Amino acid sequence: MKKAVQFGAGNIGRGFLGQLFNQSGYEVVFIEVKEELISQLNREHSYRLRIVGEKTEELIIDKVRAVDGRDKVKVAEEIREAEVMATAVGVRNLSSVASLVAEGMRQRANFKVKEPINLIICENVPNASQVFRDYLLREIEHEYRDYVDLHLGLVESVVSRMVPIIPPEIRKKDPTFIMAEEYSILPVDKKGFKGKIPEIKGMIPYENLYAYEEQKLFIHNAGHAICAYLGYLKGYRYIWQAIEDEEIRRIVRAALEESGAALIRKHGFKPEEQRAHIEDLLRRFANRALNDSIARVGRDPIRKLGPHERLIGSAKLAYQYGIIPQNIARGIAAALLFDMEEDEEARKLSQMRRKEGVDVVLKKICQIDPESHLGRLIKKNLNDK
């Protein structure tokens, strides 16, 4: 049986990639450090995945096992015999994965494995392949670098599947149980592959992945954030409650039409496909079974108000193509008012806004001129609240 090595058995590892590999005929070897996950995956060789939405479906993901990520020798042996690899470990852990991949590639070189292997990087970081390559080069000796360059593909991806937090009482009974929405498309960078592209259900190789990265950031992430910040101001707890509010739904849709129109002009997306994508997202946000919280989606507002991030970035993109981001600006104004006490970044943002004023926040955090068109538009929406 074909083997896939999956770094990380968390939400995306089990809730998305494990399913795609399993349904494509692979044995899935999870590289994990949490002992309860390792033990149960090796005891059961399967786990339950509940697809939640309009129809609920329970899948058994079988032919799985786990290897402790701290055992470098065993991980390298799995890599030596694998056909494909993927990461879903979080950006902070990529350097550790690079160390393991380096050892695995040494083994493949020493055993004279001719077939290339590809690593699909499922992390929320710009230029993920270059970030990973930099880590890898620190770990691999010069004598192996030619082999690695010819035999390891580093493939960027865009992960949009939403996976809810499992309640502690359920997780305690079954540590491997996971839930996810039904959406299961994985766009990947066609140019990142070495050798034959593996056939994986739901994986779509694109020549211009950057277009889909911007679509994820300025449509999915922006819409999610605007929904959360407007929902917070109205006292809602969950995203589904916010998007069911007619006023919020209208603003979110209009905001996504603004950034969507700019993306159509920049990347050539078909208007009807962009509209369908927006409507599908609104439907997915309304999925009550996900129980996605305002607190989770809205957290870290300082990062999300950054100059190239989902809110300011989408507003700038709209202006670039002659579109006035009226509704995106309403979302940005709501983000500036996100003062959830439990969120450290929200507290910092609130203190800065109260002590130093909105103009300083716009300059320091958003890095925009408070008297620019966008600056004035945001402040007008603040005054209206």
Structurally, the chain folds into a number of domains equal to: 2
Residues 304 and 192 in one domain: no
Residues 156 and 253 in one domain: no
Residues 195 and 241 in one domain: no
- Contact status, residue 24 vs residue 63, Cβ threshold 8 Å: no
Which residues have C-beta within 8 Å of that of residue 384, sequence separation ≥ 6?
333
Residues 154 and 266 in one domain: no
Cα separation of 93 and 123, whole Å? 10
Query: Would you state the pLDDT for residue 322?
Result: 97
In CATH, what number is assigned to the domain containing residue 54?
Answer: 3.40.50.720
Residues 232 and 156 in one domain: no
Residues 247 and 337 in one domain: yes
Beta-strand pair 117-121/57-62:
unpaired
Cα separation of 11 and 189, whole Å? 22
Query: Would you state the pLDDT for residue 385?
Result: 66
In CATH, what number is assigned to the domain containing residue 248?
Answer: 1.10.1040.10
The whole domain housing 18 covers 2-207
Cα separation of 148 and 248, whole Å? 50
pTM exceeding 0.85:
yes
Residues 34 and 116 in one domain: yes
Q: Is the dihedral of CA 165, 166, 167, 171 positive or negative?
A: negative
Q: Which of 20, 19, 28, 24 is nearest to 49 (CA)?
A: 19
Question: How do the pLDDT tens digits run along the chain, 385 residues long?
Answer: 899 999 999 999 999 999 999 999 999 999 999 999 999 999 999 999 999 988 899 999 999 999 999 999 999 999 999 999 999 999 999 999 999 999 999 999 999 999 999 999 999 888 999 999 999 999 999 999 999 999 999 999 999 999 988 888 998 999 999 999 999 999 999 999 999 999 999 999 999 999 999 999 999 999 999 999 999 999 999 999 999 999 999 999 999 999 999 999 999 999 999 999 999 999 999 999 999 999 999 999 999 999 999 999 999 999 999 999 999 999 999 999 999 999 999 999 999 999 999 999 999 999 999 999 999 999 999 987 6
- CA distances 134 to 83, 171, 297, Å, are 23, 36, 30
Where does a domain end: 180, 207, 234? 207
Residues 30 and 130 in one domain: yes
Where does a domain end: 163, 189, 207? 207
Residues 149 and 251 in one domain: no
Where does a domain end: 159, 192, 207? 207
H-helix or E-strand containing 144?
helix 142-151
Residues 43 and 190 in one domain: yes
Query: Would you state the pLDDT for residue 54?
Result: 83
Residues 262 and 175 in one domain: no
Residues 224 and 322 in one domain: yes
